[in-house]
A = this chain, B = another copy of it.
Amino acid sequence: MRAAKQATAVRREQIAAAALSIVASQGLSAMTVARVARLVGLAPSALYRHYAGKMAILDAVLDLLHDRILGNLAAARDAAGGLDALHLVLQRQVALVLEFTAIPRIIFSDEVYGKAPELKAKMHALFADLTEKLALLVRRGQEDGSVRPDVSPRSAALMLVGAFQPCAMRWHLSGGTFDLAGAVAENWELYRKAVAAPVKEKRDSQ
């Protein structure tokens, strides 16, 4: 059975989306040309009409990931202010856990970097971009008084990621058994102890 003809722009999107979904659910090494092709409904050789090779597909996956993550961050920034925005980011990360789990899967893949160092640079840019924008959120919290002024925004941003990462690791290893949301909520309490401005008569969103 032959697949219907589609414009290359359409196929490129389908292929990148399929590849991301495979990486997110089964890991990078499971992302073979054959599997991506099957998910899209094409023969493996057809992918080469739309991408130069596997690495080009992976490059597109990284772009997709970049958009999703930073989009998520922007949404949190607009939906709440100060400390609450940080809280929202953390909660949304849990919701996006599949895609966020795909990040370390790529970061520590090594299958990639040996052959395509430019992807490593791209990933680094994404990570740097993420922490930088998180630091901006922290600074905004300092300006409106919900975050104590003596914390380093850069550090507070990294720690927010750190409040999530180990939980995601355990969740990943446990095969879904580990109570991800609960552990993240607990970590948020701890995180708030570190970064929240001392409460006078201010009320928290909780």
Contacts and interface: CB of A to CB of B under 8 A. Distances in A.
Contact of A194 (B167, B173, B175, B191): B191
Interface residues of A, number: 50
A169 interface: yes
A34 to B, nearest CB: 15
A40 interface: no
Copies of this subunit: 2
Interface string A18-46: 00000000111110000000000000000
Q: Chain A interface secondary structure, helix, strand, loop or mixed?
A: helix
A183 B156 CA distance: 11
Given A29-B110, A152-B189, A193-B193, 14 more contacts: A28-B110, A29-B109, A107-B172, A128-B170, A151-B190, A151-B193, A154-B183, A155-B186, A155-B189, A159-B159, A159-B191, A165-B165, A165-B166, A194-B194
